[in-house]
């Protein structure tokens, strides 16, 4: 763990300098310690791929005291209790919503069915959430279907689009400009004001994409 000053009331802890499962699991453990301890005077905690950013109340801690408090609170040897949370995201992978499926099929020399099979057969880790509320960066996509971002981003990616950029996959929780390759669409709200947590996902969760038919997608409230 490497502690670094971020601003007058925030610090950042680094757990490594690469995007990897090993580093992500350290972030996940440390994040879990911080949530369990629920320290008074902590205002924000933002876990990401290789770091945790923390904002604190400067009327309660100075820089040295927050660092020593956090060092005592984080135990990277801790085993996270209970089952890992696996969130299933049902996806309709039709070409009418998977706008880049045909193009990807040409580039990868895989059939659309093979692309769907490869994308939906893996369990992904949520490494970071940001860019848009509820936009979860998940990895790692199988190299066979890893795709660079579009050379010219779309002005409007439809809400709930399931997408790939390099070895990462994500769902656009709202319509937005963006350059990721679109392979399908879900009816699941990833930013949902009805949830206390605002999103069904949090950093450290695992995600499974489950292919569903167009009929099922529409039945779930999906929109074409």
Partner 1 sequence: MSLDIINSPIFATIQDKGRFSYTSIGVTNSGVMDEYAYLVANKMLENDLESNIIEIAFSNVHFEAKTNTTIAITGAKCEFYINDVLKPTWQTFNIRAGDLIKVGKILEGTRVYLAVKGGFDINKEFGSNSTTLKEKLGGLDGDRLKKSQSLPCKSFIQTHNKRLKEQFIPKYEDRLELRVILSYQDEYFPKEQIDKFFSSTYEVTNEFNRMGCKLKGEKISCDINGIISEGISFGAIQIPSDGQPIILLKDRQTIGGYPKIGSVLPIDCFKLAQAKPSCKITFKPIEINEAQAKQKEFYSSFA
Q: Rule CB under 8 A: which residues touch partner 1?
A: 4-10, 12, 17-19, 43-53, 55, 58-59, 62-63, 128-135, 137, 191, 193, 197-199, 201-203
> Of 124 and 137, which has the nearer Cβ to partner 1?
137
Please name which of 85, 80, 65, 24 lies closest in space to residue 208, comparing C-alpha atoms: 85
DSSP state of 198: S
Q: How far is the CB of 136 from partner 1 (least distance, A)?
A: 8
Between 142 and 177, whose beta carbon lies closer to partner 1? 177
Q: Minimum CB separation from partner 1 for residue 173, in Å? A: 8
Two tokens, residue 152: 């010219």
E-state strands within 39-108:
42-47, 51-56, 86-92
For residue 128, the cross-strand partners are 137
Residue 184's DSSP bridge partners are 162
- Which residues make beta-bridge pairs with 169? 138, 164
Q: What are phi and psi of 128, to 5 degrees?
A: -160, 155
- Kindly tell me which of 134 and 222 has the beta carbon lying closer to partner 1: 134
**Minimum CB distance to partner 1, residue 84 (Å):** 18
What is the closest distance, in whole angstroms, from the C-beta atom of residue 185 to partner 1 in the complex? 20
Instruction: Report DSSP state, residue 166.
Output: B
For residues 5 and 224, which CB has a smaller minimum distance to partner 1 in the complex?
A: 5
């Amino acid at each position: 763990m490497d502690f670094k000053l971020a601003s007058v009331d925030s610090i950042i802890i680094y757990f490594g300098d690469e995007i990897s499962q090993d580093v992500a699991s350290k972030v996940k453990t440390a994040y879990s310690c911080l949530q369990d301890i629920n320290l008074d005077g902590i205002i924000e905690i933002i876990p990401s791929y290789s770091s945790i950013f923390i904002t604190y109340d400067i009327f309660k801690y100075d820089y040295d005291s927050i660092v020593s408090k956090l060092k005592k609170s984080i135990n990277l040897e801790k085993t996270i209790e209970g089952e890992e949370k696996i969130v299933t995201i049902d996806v309709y992978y039709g070409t009418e919503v998977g706008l880049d499926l045909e193009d990807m099929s040409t580039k990868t020399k895989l059939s659309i069915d093979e692309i769907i099979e490869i994308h939906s057969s893996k369990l992904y880790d949520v490494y970071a959430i940001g860019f848009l509320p509820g936009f979860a960066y998940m990895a790692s996509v199988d190299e066979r279907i890893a795709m660079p971002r579009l050379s010219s981003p779309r002005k409007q990616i439809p809400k709930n689009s399931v997408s790939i950029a390099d070895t990462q996959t994500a769902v656009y929780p709202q319509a937005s400009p963006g350059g990721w390759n679109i392979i399908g669409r879900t009816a699941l709200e990833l930013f949902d004001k009805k949830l206390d947590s605002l999103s069904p996902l949090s950093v450290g969760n695992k995600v499974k994409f489950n292919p569903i038919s167009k009929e099922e997608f529409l039945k779930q409230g999906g929109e074409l």
